[in-house]
Chain A
Amino acid sequence: MVELRFYFVDDDLASSRHTVYLLLASLGSAFAFARAYAALITGMTDGALIRINIITTYQDQDSPKGAPGSDLHRVGVFSFDTDNTPPGLYVLTIPALIEAAILSSGALAGVAIDTTQSAVAAFVAASTAGGAIYPVAPWDAGGLAGAGDELSYTGAALIALRSAYVGETP
């Protein structure tokens, strides 16, 4: 299922959205449909269409539950340096962190995450720049430039893990 959200503003800058759903459309064909459909609906409104979001959702039809004892409030907090100058910090949290990822000895036992643990190391590697595709912090590498900044949006790459520890969230 693909969800198309069309965002309009009026002359007071109040916003509202129009939503339609498509079955089994690829992102490319969904965008082509969205552009053609946008040309039709803009004729019947005097609001301004400013943005289209295309949302593709993948759902596990078996509705799985977590492992016995899993607790979403017990999270792994991973702080990454970003490629700003000076570097920013961006945090990714992992709900229900596995026990095997937590240091079991030393002064930081039970608090810090073992970054040499295989699953942790793989997650950190996948989260930092280096591969062809990598996640980014939602701000520009050069810093925010103010109004119209979306035009120059690049996202700031996560370049290195700064810290990783266990946290509790409400």
Chain B
Amino acid sequence: MAYVQGPTSITYTFTDDDGASSRETVKLPLGVSAVNIGSWAATYAGEVTAVSNAALTRYSITSEYYDDTFPVAAPGSDVENKGVFTFRTANNGSSSLTIPSIIEAVLIATGTRLSTYIDLANVLIAPVVAALVSGINVGGTVIAPATNNGIDLRSVKDAYKQNRSSQKSQGNRG
């Protein structure tokens, strides 16, 4: 697979004196470097706030990469069959994430947890859990995911398969 950079979007979020919020999105052309995207977004934020008396509370840069081989899902795949992983976090809380269309081969095959729970020792699962807890070495730097509040993931508390609803007919790839 080869990931190709798609459009970059920058969304500015404003708040007025009533606390109401509003967003404005601009897009950048292809081929702009990551460094230049960041500096342009910050500069443009200054231009935008000069013509508004609302407060700019935040802005987000979304860089999109898509697989230009346009992969096709396996017959019988179903994104509503999710692998649910709940992690213990560094602040003694918990945090969950899901993997769509989890394969049957990673489920526990025998015993009372038959076909419901995920086998954490499975050769496909263990590396993913390790990446989430311990991180991945990227160019000499280990980068480890966290919760959306920035709390480290420590260990798997629970992992199972569950059917959960998803968006339908949203798979348009252009």
Contacts and interface: CB of A to CB of B under 8 A. Distances in A.
Given A10-B73, A14-B166, A15-B170, A56 B50 contact: no
A119 B50 contact: yes
Given A48-B71, A57-B59, A136-B27, A153 B136 contact: no
A155 B7 contact: yes
Given A11-B74, A55-B62, A21 B173 contact: no
Contact of A16 (B4, B27, B79, B174): B79
B68 A151 contact: yes
Contacts of B60: 55-58
Contacts, number: 316
B: interface residue count bin: 35 or more
Contacts of A18: 97-100
Interface in B56-93: 56-68, 70-80, 82-83
Contacts of A49: 1, 67, 71
Chain A interface, DSSP helix/strand/loop, else mixed:
mixed
B52 A51 contact: no
Contacts of B16: 65-66, 70-72, 95-96
Interface in A35-81: 35-37, 40-41, 43-60, 63-73, 76
A28 B34 contact: yes
A154 B97 CA distance: 34
B22 A20 contact: no
Contacts of A160: none
Nearest to B106: A44
A159 to B, nearest CB: 13
Interface string B1-25: 1011011000000111111111010
Contact of B54 (A34, A48, A95): A95
B47 A48 contact: no
A27 interface: yes
B56 A60 contact: yes
Contacts of A11: 72-77
Nearest to B66: A51
A97 B52 contact: yes
A54 B5 CA distance: 11
28 contacts: A9-B79, A9-B173, A14-B169, A15-B167, A21-B148, A21-B150, A22-B145, A28-B34, A29-B141, A40-B128, A44-B102, A46-B77, A47-B79, A51-B64, A52-B65, A53-B65, A58-B59, A58-B60, A65-B16, A69-B17, A70-B17, A97-B52, A120-B51, A133-B40, A136-B27, A147-B174, A155-B27, A155-B29
